[in-house]
């Protein structure tokens, strides 16, 4: 297995859930709430910091670990939710970039 | 370019931002807020539905499109936020699964 | 009715839901997701702005309206979720401040 | 002071922040992120439960305490964010209900 792919992450998550019989909990709504919960934890990592302080936190190996773990939690629930919903994140992402290319000509304001 | 990789998405997002001079807006806090905003829209797609109704919505091509677009928005901001923070989502995801494997022996309760 | 109270808002929301037979949708999980969705919209109002630009947006009557509406949406779902769960927000809020008073002596760092 | 009002909560939060010199952190964006973080924790309280299990959790005094504390955290950051932005939550809430009364005639579908 090439473990640099999103599919390798998805497959390990599937195995992980099967081994623990957690599939019963992994409904779309439950996973969406879990995703929302983890995004909240990622926001909390940065809430009182300036952007410069966020970068300093990321430059320190120890505090960086905590932030990376929050990124991982968000990513893992997003992958699981997409899997349950049959959504291919990379394909959907490319499609959306292509659509945005048409909607926002270069020099548009971010909105 | 192999466009089935997360890097291919990241690279298009970088080009997209450069072409519009949007890099100035893409600070960690701004992108984290945008991520939170898009997760909110994904939650909204499901909020009044049962899980069965969510699956029915996904089975209908037209309403599926809207949901896929929300997935894409969440994914794209997550990729951009990770990029700005120098986080490799797939590597961080694998590391977290490995850690969880130790923390939750098979037969643990989901928590 | 004194409409400057949180109870006056709660009571109108109860009547509103009864008149539309929406009580069936107002389960704890659904309302929690709706709350998450509306907080996402509030985040989106500020995501690309500096704090000074947020204050400027609030100083302009027209754009202020949009932000106030997002505040209202968050507040209304929080009141409904608390109502369904039998939680008194003001009492719970006071109890938490009292607890925080003990946990964070003056001169603590925000955490 | 009548401590059954939202203003009594707001005033204690103001004093709390002044005593700790935390006003410097309480910018709109920071407080909005903190609000998002706390809503995430409230979602997490319910994510793996059915609605019946949420009600059972609320019926147990000990586990109820934890949920009430998450409600309090969401409420307190919402009150602080509204205060910084000069928004009257109750007034904005009533205005929105009045607007919704026009938008959703009785018998509308929840959307």
Q: What is the pLDDT of residues B3-49, one digit of tens each?
A: 899 999 999 999 999 999 999 999 999 999 999 999 999 999 999 99
B62: left (phi over 0), alpha (psi -120 to 50) or beta: alpha
Using CB atoms, pick whichever of C33, C48, C111 lies closest to residue A32.
Answer: C33
C-alpha separations of C109 from B75, D20, D22 in Å? 34, 8, 8
Q: Which residues of D touch C38 (CB under 8 A)?
A: none
For residue B1, pLDDT beyond 90:
no
Kindly report the number of other CB atoms within 10 A of residue B72's CB atom: 25
How far apart are alpha carbons D35 and B105 in whole angstroms? 34
| pLDDT of amino acid D111 | 67
Distance CA(C46)–CA(C67), nearest Å, equals 9
Minimum Cα–Cα distance from C56: chain D residue:
D85
Using the structure block, give the residue that is written with the tokens 């995501």. C47
Residue D78 has pLDDT above 70, yes or no: yes
State CA D78 to chain mean position distance. Answer: 5
The mean pLDDT value of chain A amounts to 95
pLDDT at residue B106, as a whole number: 86
How would CATH label the architecture of A6-97? Orthogonal Bundle (1.10)
CATH of domain C6-101: 1.10.287.1080
Taking only residues 31 to 50 of chain C, the set having a beta carbon closer than 8 angstroms to any beta carbon of chain B reads 33-34, 36-41, 43-44, 46-48
The residue behind tokens 């929300």 is B70
Confidence category of residue A109, pLDDT binned at 50, 70, 90: confident
Q: What is the mean pLDDT of chain C?
A: 95
pLDDT in tens, B53-111: 999 999 999 999 999 999 999 999 999 999 999 999 999 999 999 999 999 988 777 76
Task: Answer yes or no: is pLDDT of C1 > 70.
Answer: no
CA distance linking residue D97 with residue C11, whole number of Å: 11
Nearest CB to D47; choose among A34, A46, A47: A34
> Which letter, b or e, does each residue of A100-109 get, where b requires 16 or more Cβ atoms within 10 Å of its Cβ?
beeebeeeee
Q: Which residues of A touch B49 (CB under 8 A)?
A: 29
Mean pLDDT of D40-61: 98
Is there a contact between B4 and A90 if contact means CB atoms under 8 Å apart? yes
**Per the CB < 8 Å rule, is C25 touching B46?**
no
pLDDT of residue C111: 67
Give, rounded to a whole angstrom, the gap between the first and last alpha carbons of chain D: 40
pLDDT of residue D106: 85
Where along chain A do its domains lie? 6-97
What is the predicted pLDDT for the residue at D1?
55
pLDDT at C106: 86
- Give the pair of three-digit tokens for residue C31: 């309302």
Contacts of C85 in chain D (CB under 8 A): 54, 58, 67, 71
Q: How far is B109 from chain C (nearest CA, A)?
A: 20
- pLDDT of A62 above 60: yes
CATH of domain B6-103: 1.10.287.1080
- Is 80 exceeded by the pLDDT of residue A107? no
Q: Which residues contact B31 (CB under 8 A, 6 or more apart)?
A: B77, B80, B81, B84
Cα–Cα distance between C33 and A74 in angstroms, integer?
Answer: 17
What average pLDDT score do residues C9-38 get?
A: 97
C-alpha separations of D69 from B49, B56, C75, C76, C80 in Å: 27, 36, 17, 19, 17
Average pLDDT over residues A34-49: 98
Residue C102 has pLDDT above 80, yes or no: yes
Q: How many whole angstroms separate alpha carbon B80 and alpha carbon B29?
A: 12
Mean pLDDT of D5-21: 97
Cβ–Cβ gap D13/C72 under 8 Å: no
Mutate to test the interface with A, among B82, B85, B105, B107 (most CBs of A within 10 A): B85
Of B88, B65, B86, B68, the C-alpha closest to B5 is: B88
Quick: pLDDT tens for A9-22. Answer: 999 999 999 999 99
């Amino acid at each position: 297995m090439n473990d640099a792919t999103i599919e390798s992450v998805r497959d390990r998550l599937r195995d992980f859930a099967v081994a623990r019989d957690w599939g019963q909990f992994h409904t779309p709504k439950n996973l969406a709430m879990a995703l929302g919960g983890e995004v909240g934890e990622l926001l909390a990592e940065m809430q009182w910091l300036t952007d410069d302080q966020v970068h300093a936190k990321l430059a320190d190996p120890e505090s960086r670990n905590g932030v990376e773990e929050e990124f991982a939690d968000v990513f893992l629930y997003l992958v699981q939710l997409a899997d349950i919903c049959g959504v291919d994140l990379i394909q959907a992402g490319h499609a959306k970039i292509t659509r945005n290319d048409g909607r926002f000509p270069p020099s548009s304001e971010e909105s």
